[in-house]
Amino acid sequence: MFVTSLSPFAYGACTQFPGKRWVRTRIVVAGAGYVGLTGALCLAQLGHTVACYDPDRERISTLQAGTIPLREPGLQRLLDAAPGRVTFATRLPDGPVDADAVLLCVGTPARPDGSCDLSFLEQAVADLAPRLPPGQLVITRSTVPPGTNRRLQGAFGERARVVACPEFLREGSAVADFLRPDRMVFGAAGPEDAEPAASIFAGLPGKRLVTTWEAAEIIKYASNAFLAVRVSFANELAGLCAHFGADPAAVMYGIGLDPRIGTGYLSPGAGYGGSCLPKDVGALLHTAGTAGCQLRVVQAAAQVNDEQPRRLVQRLAEAAGGLAGQPVALWGLAFKAGTDDLRASPALRLLAALREADATVRAHDPAAMEAAARLEQAPLLAASPLEAARGAYALVIATEWPEYEGADLQATRAVMSGPWLLDCRNVIDPGAARRAGFHYLGVGR
């Protein structure tokens, strides 16, 4: 074990590392997705000089033109404020890498069996390895299974000192999460490698934990798995609330008043989604399976999440006397408000369940229309929430956008052919919905 006082072979938490911050540090960032782009621009904001590269030509061209290619609050402001401190390219210049640190921020998507696809990471390592000077600091920000960073160290050999520094960024608040972290985790061969990695992030708040590569990797997966368990627990408990007529909001609030529990991720809904929780839960379960371990609680949480959208649509179909041949409006496609990300979105699982019920679906989303149009089985899209609802027998609210929470319920009901409203995010006041003429169904309500 390491102690974060940096005495060898002990581990624990501390508030800050000793030592001075590096001045005018030159950093290479591999990957310009959510993690890489957020990291590059936030590090430039901290005063570092950053070269970010990604083989996606369209994305890099957009960034070189001064525009952010994804929806994430605060990134455009950081890009506008960082001329001369951050550059973008599809590949690194020829010759040896000239940087104080290299950050690996490439995607590690899920394979069909739930395992983690490391091909992008392996390609980045293959490109970098022959060009690194001896002792190059390499920081892995990509989410990877336990044992990956140890293998990376073996692949780099003496050319690199590999440090695992998993990110804990949430889409929609990635900039704030980077600049105001609650903790930072550094997995390394020893504290002498962790200290220079930590110095790059000097000045940021939050506790620091120095640990082994494997512990850092598991911390990332376990954190997301635990959040997934909380979401599925809330959705399971909402069913019990509905049976006894209890208000699920009051129940969750009462549970969250216990300081050992808190209120985060205890809101009943359509389930969790996005680029992290589903992928990381699946990868953790796959990793545990290959190790001969059973994570029954995590497995149950994943199963509840998979079933939740179908369960909600089934409830609507039973209440409405069936949905076959009926037009249904779907408000929301992104996995949560504030983003255009459709990856593992519960809204898309609701769409699939509605199609299984033979409903005809017309959808709207304030941000994800362009991405939805590119789906292999794209839904019919409407230019506005009201247009999506026109002629609909039922309305399903799948994403908690403010536009839907503040919608004119009277006007919406007036253009619909039927009275049914399934609020999968509990953003509508049931009384207001009923006064507008809706038969309201919420989650646990």
Pairwise CA distance, residues 195 & 210, whole Å: 9
Q: Do the bridges between strand 12-14 and strand 207-211 make them parallel or antiparallel, or are there none, so unpaired?
A: antiparallel
Q: Do domains 12-211 and 306-441 have the same CATH topology?
A: yes
The closest of 89, 20, 19 to 50, measured between CA atoms, is 89
Residue scoring higher pLDDT (16 or 123): 123
* 77 and 66 Cβ atoms separated by less than 8 Å: no
pLDDT at 23: 52
- pLDDT class for 203, splitting at 50, 70, 90? confident
Kindly state which CATH superfamily the domain 12-211 is placed in.
Answer: NAD(P)-binding Rossmann-like Domain (3.40.50.720)
pLDDT at 68: 96
Both tokens assigned to 368: 């994800």
Q: What is the per-residue pLDDT across 143-152, written as a single tens digit (0 to 9) for each?
A: 999 999 999 9
Whether residue 395 is predicted with pLDDT greater than 90 in this model: the reply is: yes
Burial class (CB within 10 angstroms; exposed 0-12, middle 13-18, buried 19+) of 89: middle
* Segment 209-213 mean pLDDT: 96
Both tokens assigned to 93: 């210049």
Burial class (CB within 10 angstroms; exposed 0-12, middle 13-18, buried 19+) of 300: middle
- pLDDT class for 17, splitting at 50, 70, 90? very low
Q: 290 CB contacts (<8 Å, ≥6 apart)? A: none
Phi-psi domain of 169 (left: phi exceeds 0; alpha: psi -120 through 50; beta: other): beta
- CA distance to 263, 271, 277, per residue, from 346 (Å): 21, 6, 12
pLDDT at 379: 93
Whether residue 15 is predicted with pLDDT greater than 50 in this model: the reply is: no
Task: For domain 306-441, give the fold.
Answer: Rossmann fold (3.40.50)
Both tokens assigned to 48: 């570092």
Average pLDDT of the residues of the chain: 93
How wide is the angle at C-alpha 303 spanned by C-alphas 331 and 115, nearest 5°? 100
The closest of 225, 341, 336 to 283, measured between CA atoms, is 225
Q: What is the per-residue pLDDT across 88-115, written as a single tens digit (0 to 9) for each?
A: 999 988 889 999 999 999 999 999 999 9
* 313 and 403 Cβ atoms separated by less than 8 Å: no
Q: What is the per-residue pLDDT across 274-328, written as a single tens digit (0 to 9) for each?
A: 999 999 999 999 999 999 999 999 999 999 999 999 999 999 999 999 999 999 9
Domain range annotation of the chain = 12-211, 306-441
Pairwise CA distance, residues 199 & 214, whole Å: 21
* 34 and 107 Cβ atoms separated by less than 8 Å: no
Q: Is 407 helix (H, G, I), strand (E, B) or coil?
A: coil
The closest of 147, 124, 152 to 29, measured between CA atoms, is 124
* 188 and 237 Cβ atoms separated by less than 8 Å: no
Pairwise CA distance, residues 269 & 337, whole Å: 13
Share of the chain above pLDDT 70, in %: 95
Q: Is 395 helix (H, G, I), strand (E, B) or coil?
A: strand
- pLDDT class for 437, splitting at 50, 70, 90? very high
Q: 425 CB contacts (<8 Å, ≥6 apart)? A: 269, 270, 332, 397, 398, 399, 400, 443
Whether residue 241 is predicted with pLDDT greater than 60 in this model: the reply is: yes
Share of the chain above pLDDT 90, in %: 91
pLDDT at 18: 40
Pairwise CA distance, residues 236 & 91, whole Å: 47
Where b means 16+ CB within 10 Å and e means fewer, 376-410 reads eeebebbeebbebbbebbbbbbbbbbeebeebebe
Whether residue 13 is predicted with pLDDT greater than 50 in this model: the reply is: no
Annotated catalytic, 276? yes
* Segment 76-96 mean pLDDT: 93
How wide is the angle at C-alpha 355 spanned by C-alphas 351 and 359, nearest 5°? 105
pLDDT at 445: 83
Q: What is the largest CA-CA distance in the chain?
A: 71
The residue from 116, 276, 293, 424 that is catalytic is: 276
- pLDDT class for 5, splitting at 50, 70, 90? very low
Whether residue 330 is predicted with pLDDT greater than 90 in this model: the reply is: yes
Q: 197 CB contacts (<8 Å, ≥6 apart)? A: 101, 137, 139, 163, 165, 186, 188
- pLDDT class for 24, splitting at 50, 70, 90? low
